[in-house]
A and B are shown apart, each in its own frame.
Chain A
């Protein structure tokens, strides 16, 4: 144990978190594309020289657990050849990345010639080259079809940009201007973090800061262990099942075997199914992130999320499985699926050991993007649907939040105003309301999904792409609670039979006058339905969250 006093350690901890937050604010203010400054799909963090996560700002849960692996990949490739003023970059899932659209920028922070920290910024770019716009390519069978792969590279050498490398990147993406603007914002953000950390070390001396980091991580470890040791020892099993890979394989299983011994946790995913040929495979870093997310959700919100709090966990997995694909396999969907099923399998396994903490499943992601021409101005448009959010899982804290989204973002993704969408796109929202009977029954009911009737008002046919999961398997019910209703998306065209959209499809023809009838998934229920209070049932009925004809039969029909 270091001799840094607990007060100084507390002060330095606040400063480290504030630096990560300020990096995030700078990113928000300077980023260029909508996905970053509006949807905020980026994360900032500070890591130690060997990659340990020291502090993070609360952004996108699925990024954070993956960042240490990204730092490790840079350290592994460059070793001691790291200098003040360097900026490193990567996205390759087989070199520490999660999926190709997530580009990660790093700056080493020195005290004299001693490497003390890395400042890290990961952001989801709107395009990264490859066969389809925006990287979600349901037909990809290998990673080269998904976009440009960037292994760890040095983009700035001792403060000087390597213009040839920058050109190599920008020439390979569709929206070079957006890409450069967002990348510049990322680099500004990590450099700001560097300046702030240098000032911190000047104020307290590097030795005190380094010692304080040990105290901070040990303290988080102690907190996490305190929680885990209150869980019942034993070996637990949990399974979560993906609908399919979109290429003929149904019911792909993620299996977690979790062993609790005192305050230690071993999470073994090696019995999960083999990897597949489509983008639902997970990279190694993304699998680690899924595990970290599951743990973060089960610990207290007050426990800092850093290397210390993840120390009690040992992860076991097998290369070549769905959670850890071999180099070359496509992985773009994995930050949604199968990251969410990794969480679900672990939480399912641990539910009997810590029932008060185990929340039921959150809805799965099912995205569609419509591409066509706007008859009002003749311009082409692409619209990505963030509306009709699925329901959140119920927990011992109460019913799930209605329409609040998926496990990977836990209510952090915002859908835009319908009035704005109707003004800017040839789309007409006839209905956008909670979907009755969609939340899984339980002592606490899962959050409702949403019904959306969306009319496409173009003069020419459109195309739609789909990427997601959960049209067959609903969000997991927990501890006796029932699963939520799965997604059901229909395409109704004049004079044609309604067509059910599959979750992994590319280039579906949308005739003029078509209406999408979307029913998004409900969240899972928690605890036996028989234990639900009558007053709560009456409230649901009175407010139309459930209907008389509701329950299982209509769910099956829906």
Chain B
């Protein structure tokens, strides 16, 4: 049987099929943005052909498909979702547009005001009010609800978010509203905040529920189309969607929590990195995914990915737990320019896919990072993407010469300068991303993947003082591969505010037990294997505004000193993040969290690369590394296990180029990966 991972990216759709013996088959086809399912089906045909099977035969012998989709993300970025509305507590209809009073860019006072996902006239106040203590101050008023329903009808609203104040502690008004809406407008898509994110803080809850209402109809249409196409082609197994928190869930659940799919794409990369950490026995990794327009950085600590609740996508706040990924606005397509003051700047403008870097020959004239790589000899103009594309070296030379003239230096020095500046920017980005999470980057290894990471990885490591860079053999499809190594996951949250000293032990136990039971019964609906739960809590000191996520796995809930144990768990976490804790203060518990997890069978082990005699270089190229020199070129896919290559050298495959600088030593692992020691 096969299991197939499918990652739909902006340019390419990547597929990975793994058979029972661990053999990996790759597929790569152009993405089809208008209907992503076409690209997916094309990719499946390609994989079937590679395996010498018909599509029907491949699908008949496939028992699991895991899919990462950018449909929700693109809907948000391109603002092409349906017409939606918000029903909220009367007197509070501007929560969404207020953004808690924040505006980005301190020194840009001419920044245009963004348009909220819902215009104000479709943010409809409904007369009702529940107070902080749960008391109903104003019962849900039928007349004002009817008035709102008339607006929804008149405006032909497709999807609606319902979010009332304090609904995290009592969802009855939201439920009654949903019932009334179902009766009056049976086709309306309704999301209520007490289901999407039942936790305190109205801006986060409103915004998350609104995003959910906005992307759900589009995601539903796409996924049902894909499901039909797969069924028609002969597939009878489950289609699982990877969510922003890195776990997977069936289609119906992904649609219900559509806002939880906005990081579905990069989540695969982080899952791949987590799986990689296990395979190479290195628990602390910095996954470094450098693409065309941006670079994603995350952290694997002790083999685990970290989660955050403070995501913004396309300016919209989504407060669901999601993988903690930092995106830098620099990649291979970033444009280098000389500022008015005469200094070099790389990005944030990017040449994108069209026209792309000058060397793509699509009319781009400005120098990009990729053009600089071309000028320095790191890329082979005749053998890009396995020879499927040719690059225009003369165009790259001309672009860098122009840049050099502005700087008063020659084109090669300008190209070297572009690399130095972009490497500095990325190194500082990694440093800030790690410092922000309270860890020192030096004990980590860099896991370099994505199109451009291999050319920059070892220099970045040098600047960060870290001595190890790992490049997976499947670097270009790590995301699709990683999706197959994840587990089913459901996140459940309840707000339960109280000082740890005064919490009722029985009530806490009851709360967590109920949440676990709920998670288990929901997961049981689509899974019959073993289920386990992880407990955690969002906590803070009284005067702080931001909570931290405190794992409670090590806490014994049956023990009489439960509260002291919870306090201790908080203090350890606070110390790790902020270097101190305050033992004489009682922290406040704000939200209780349970992650319900269903583990899928482990992936079959990949066959090892055969140990054989080291291979010789396939050629050599003139490259610039502090001066021109001849560097040997090695074929990544043919390197023998245990073979060492010392820089300067280039290691190339169809989709990955790795640059070894002077002193770098790459050793091929039994899996055929590169394990590079960087002298620091």
Spell out A's residues near B (CB within 8 Å).
5-7, 9-11, 13-15, 18, 21-22, 25-26, 29-30, 33-34, 37-38, 58-59, 61, 181, 215-216, 218-223, 226, 296-297, 299, 301-305, 308, 357, 359, 362, 386, 389, 392-393, 395-405, 410-420, 422-423, 428-434, 447, 450, 453, 542-545
Contacts and interface: CB of A to CB of B under 8 A. Distances in A.
A414 B204 CA distance: 13
A6 B343 CA distance: 6
A405 B339 contact: no
Interface stretch (B113-121, B384-392, B603-611): B113-121
Interface of B: 91-94, 97-98, 100-113, 119-121, 131-132, 165-166, 168, 200-204, 338-345, 407-409, 413, 416-417, 420-421, 424-425, 428, 431-432, 435-436, 438, 497, 543-546, 577-580
Given A220-B341, A410-B103, A395 B409 contact: no
16 contacts: A6-B407, A9-B343, A10-B420, A10-B421, A38-B545, A220-B341, A222-B340, A222-B342, A301-B108, A397-B112, A405-B103, A415-B100, A417-B200, A419-B166, A433-B91, A433-B93
A401 B103 contact: yes
Contact of A14 (B92, B108, B425): B425
Nearest to A413: B101
B639 to A, nearest CB: 34
Contact of B436 (A25, A58, A430, A447): A25
A155 B574 CA distance: 28
A549 to B, nearest CB: 18
Contact of B417 (A7, A296, A404): A7
B585 to A, nearest CB: 10
Given A7-B416, A357-B110, A543-B121, 5 more contacts: A25-B432, A25-B436, A37-B544, A410-B109, A417-B100
A393 B420 contact: no
* Residue of A33, A397, A423 ringed by the most chain B CB atoms within 10 A: A423
A423 B342 CA distance: 54
Contact of A10 (B201, B344, B545): B344
A22 B440 CA distance: 12
B407 A18 contact: no
Contact of B408 (A6, A222, A389): A6
B428 A418 contact: no
Contact of A423 (B110, B113, B200, B546): B200
A18 B428 contact: yes
A61 B106 contact: yes
> What 3 A-B pairs have minimum CB-CB distances, sorted nearest first?
A411-B103, A219-B341, A397-B110
A399 B387 CA distance: 51
A47 B342 CA distance: 22
A411 B340 contact: no
Contacts of B168: 419
B640 to A, nearest CB: 37
B80 to A, nearest CB: 20
A419 B340 contact: no
Contacts, number: 210
* Residue of B109, B166, B202, B580 ringed by the most chain A CB atoms within 10 A: B109
Chain B interface, >50% SS class: loop
A411 B544 contact: no
Given A223-B340, A301-B107, A302-B339, A30 B580 contact: yes
Contact of B421 (A11, A33, A215, A428): A11
Given A10-B421, A389-B101, A296 B107 contact: yes
A422 B169 CA distance: 13
B343 A433 contact: no
A411 B106 contact: yes
A418 B107 contact: no
Nearest to A38: B545
A58 B107 contact: yes
Contacts of A413: 101-102
A15 B424 contact: yes
B109 A6 contact: no
B106 A6 contact: no
B106 A25 contact: no
Contact of B92 (A222, A389, A411, A433): A433
B70 to A, nearest CB: 30
B421 A29 contact: no
Nearest to B419: A7
A543 B121 CA distance: 5
A37 B546 CA distance: 9
Contacts of A412: 102-103, 106
A301 B432 contact: no
A542 B120 CA distance: 9
Nearest to B429: A18
Given A11-B424, A223-B339, A404 B103 contact: yes
A534 B544 CA distance: 46
Contact of A18 (B92, B110, B431, B497): B431
A411 B102 contact: yes
A7 B344 contact: yes
Given A22-B432, A404-B103, A405-B101, A544 B544 contact: no
Contacts of A218: 341
A242 to B, nearest CB: 21
A453 B545 CA distance: 23
B328 to A, nearest CB: 12
Nearest to A400: B113
Nearest to B428: A18
Given A14-B421, A22-B431, A423-B132, A392 B103 contact: yes
B545 A416 contact: yes
* Residue of B97, B204, B543 ringed by the most chain A CB atoms within 10 A: B543
Contacts of A215: 343
A64 to B, nearest CB: 10
B340 A226 contact: yes
B546 A38 contact: yes
Contacts of B435: 22, 25-26, 29
A223 B338 CA distance: 11
B420 A431 contact: no
A540 to B, nearest CB: 10
B425 A419 contact: no
A357 B165 CA distance: 40
A129 B201 CA distance: 33
A44 B642 CA distance: 49
B342 A14 contact: no
A163 B389 CA distance: 70
B98 A402 contact: yes
Nearest to A396: B110
A432 B543 contact: no
B413 A7 contact: yes
Contact of A223 (B102, B119, B204, B341): B341
Contacts of B204: 417
Contacts of B417: 6-7, 10
Contacts of A542: 119, 121
A34 B543 contact: yes
B120 A419 contact: no
Contact of A395 (B105, B110, B436): B110
A13 B110 contact: no
A201 B338 CA distance: 25
B343 A219 contact: yes
B427 to A, nearest CB: 9
Contacts of A29: 435-436, 438, 577-579
B409 to A, nearest CB: 7
B109 A393 contact: yes
B163 to A, nearest CB: 11
Nearest to A61: B106
A508 to B, nearest CB: 25
A152 to B, nearest CB: 28
A422 B421 contact: no
Contacts of B113: 398-402, 447
Nearest to B125: A433
A391 to B, nearest CB: 11
A343 to B, nearest CB: 10
A410 B105 CA distance: 8
B343 A34 contact: no
